[in-house]
Amino acid sequence: MKELKEYVKNADDIVIAGHVAPDGDCVGAVIAVYRYIHKLFPEKRLTPYLENTPKVYDYLDPDKSIIKSEIPEEIGMIIALDSSSVDRLGEVANEFRKKKATLVIDHHVSNIGFGDINIVDKEAGSACEVIAHMMSDDDIDVKIAEALYTGMVTDSGGFRYPATSKDTMNLAGRLMEKGIDFSWIMDRCMYSRTYHQAQLLGRALLESILIMDGKCIVTTVTKSMLDMYETEEEDTEGIVDQLRVTRGVEVAVFIRERAEQEYKVSLRSNNYVDVSKIADYFEGGGHIRAAGFTMRGSLHDVINNITEQISLQIKSKE
């Protein structure tokens, strides 16, 4: 694998894009790549583009001078980060399809390689882990390390998910040596909540249901619930992980209402159910133990269709 600087050295106008509804890995990846390229090639014109960056990651761009909300007219190269397909790039997707020079850096098992150059490590725990290996250690400063560590922490569930490897931990140690406040980042991204977020989490847990002899847990957050607790979509982050650690549960299903008869579904599994296959069935994507997709229809039908696919895998193991 070549270093990242080798892929971008001949491009002048570069868009660095992540997927829609960006998570910590996506935000961390975009910020880290921007800071890295800007450090080595300050003359290049860079547009780090994300849609609706969650406030919890504001510390990576404190003065809001990095992330852009508009796509430039002149584009020489597009770097797609943490995106399993071109459709996940939102507004950037149309520009990407025009076949400008494109570089994809990802770790999703569902990524089949949609760029001109594809760096996809399906064994890595995060896109930031892949990116870090494309950077010389001497080129990683504390700000770049902070962004990379954020992505690694969030996508590994605090270094708890199965994709966390010895290499992951060694890399995390190297980033810690750069002087980042690693314990603060862990608390900020994984555990801290506002009072209203805590209320919403409590409501979601209270209304959860166990099915399949306790092997599956399901809960839903509606738009009216978000309004009631004065919260936004990003405030639902972490709910599915709290469901997953319920004793006896193999699969956690979190359903969030986005619009009338439109739902965002997040799945997590613990031991043997491959939720990436379920997500792929519903035209989504993700990993073996963590995946997501969007469904349309009545909530009753959405739940029935999802649980039918989960049941097929659970029964195959009985």
3-state SS, 51-84, equals CCCCHHHHHHCCCCCCCECCCCCCCCEEEEECCC
H or E stretch at 80: strand 77-81
Provide the residue count of the chain: 318
CATH number, domain 195-317 = 3.10.310.30
Higher pLDDT, 185 or 290: 185
| pLDDT of residue 1 exceeding 80 | no
**220-253: per-residue pLDDT in tens?**
999 999 999 999 999 998 999 999 999 999 999 9
Higher pLDDT, 315 or 168: 168
Q: Which fold has domain 4-191?
A: inorganic pyrophosphatase (n-terminal core) (3.90.1640)
Range list for CATH 3.10.310.30 in the chain = 195-317
pTM: 0.89
Spatial contact of 21 and 131, defined as CB atoms under 8 Å apart: no
Q: Which of 88-102, 140-154, 281-295 has the highest mean pLDDT?
A: 140-154
| pLDDT of residue 318 exceeding 80 | no
| pLDDT of residue 206 exceeding 90 | yes
Mean pLDDT of the chain: 95
**58-103: per-residue pLDDT in tens?**
999 999 999 998 999 999 999 999 999 999 999 999 999 998 899 9
For 142, counting Cβ atoms within 10 Å of its Cβ (0-12 exposed, 13-18 middle, 19+ buried), the class is: exposed
- Interatomic CA distance for residues 191 and 189, integer angstroms: 6
Range list for CATH 3.90.1640.10 in the chain = 4-191
**Start-to-end CA span in the chain (Å):** 42
Q: What would the two tokens of residue 192 be? A: 């801290």
